[in-house]
Amino acid sequence: MPSSSNNFRVLVLGGTTEASALCRDLEKEPFISATLSLAGVTKQPHLPTLSVRIGGFGGSDGLSTWLKTHEINAVIDATHPFAATMSQHAATACAVTQTPLLRLERSGWQEMPGDTWFHAPTLTDAATLLANSPKWGTTPQRIFLTTGRKELAPFKTAPQHHYLIRSIDAPDPVSLPPHATILLDRGPFDVQNEARLMQDHGITLLVSKNSGGSATYPKLEATRLLGIPVLMIDRPAACPNIPTTETAQQAMAWLRAHQAASTRRKV
């Protein structure tokens, strides 16, 4: 039987709804001691009762040191699907320290009948299309820009459009394109309100990352309902050879299996 000393230590790299769900499950586990790490991008995040650290580690070397110092037994990378740098740092640090690593990532959205999606591999590529492509570059658009407040600067290269920008916290004014309306709001959203918002602002194009999940999916349902096209920024390539799961329940099963194996090795 595992002891009650909470000696199976887990680091959760969070910032997503999946990470929050996992933390709620971990709060009920008496034999797992978990720490949630947040980047600190959101000013007032919803925090669990677990131990929480906020801020970066100092790259993969800093994370490696932290894992060793805190004797971490397993890492769950539940960062945003577009947090590619942090995921790479986690993969490198866990390889160096030989710490088991699991990627907890929700599946991406799929184009449905009635959708009109165009694709760009990066934010910069999306901004270039808006600036120069024959389809959008020559005619000013009213764009619902939902890429997050840290991802706005590339769109300064397409200043001919008007942007409706939604984020949880106010963006840096320096990063804004010249014609921008800021809407501060936090999901989840519903399709009726999303459709009304787009109609009220005369939106002709939605720009979104393919983040997946249900909290902001109604904006895509609204574009389908209204016949508004979507410029979708595709996800970055995943780190190779890292096991991946989509739900907190599956992540908990993975943790319990590693906890049990760790307990057997100590007996």
pLDDT in tens, 145-175: 999 888 899 999 999 999 999 888 899 999 9
List the chain domain ranges: 8-107+240-266, 117-233
Residue ranges in the chain whose pLDDT is less than 50: 1-5
pLDDT in tens, 58-74: 999 999 999 999 999 99
Residue 66 pLDDT: 97
- Give the number of other CB atoms < 10 A from CB of residue 244: 13
Question: What does the block give as tokens for 111?
Answer: 């184009």
Geometric angle at alpha carbon 85, from 82 and 90, rounded to 5°: 110
Q: Any idea which fold 8-107+240-266 has?
A: Rossmann fold (3.40.50)
Residue 187 pLDDT: 76
Question: What does the block give as tokens for 112?
Answer: 């449905």
Residue 263 pLDDT: 76
Q: Any idea which fold 117-233 has?
A: Rossmann fold (3.40.50)
Residue 198 pLDDT: 98
Identical topology for domains 8-107+240-266 and 117-233: yes
Q: What is the mean pLDDT of the chain?
A: 91
Contacts of 3 (CB under 8 A, 6+ apart): 31
Its pTM stands at: 0.83
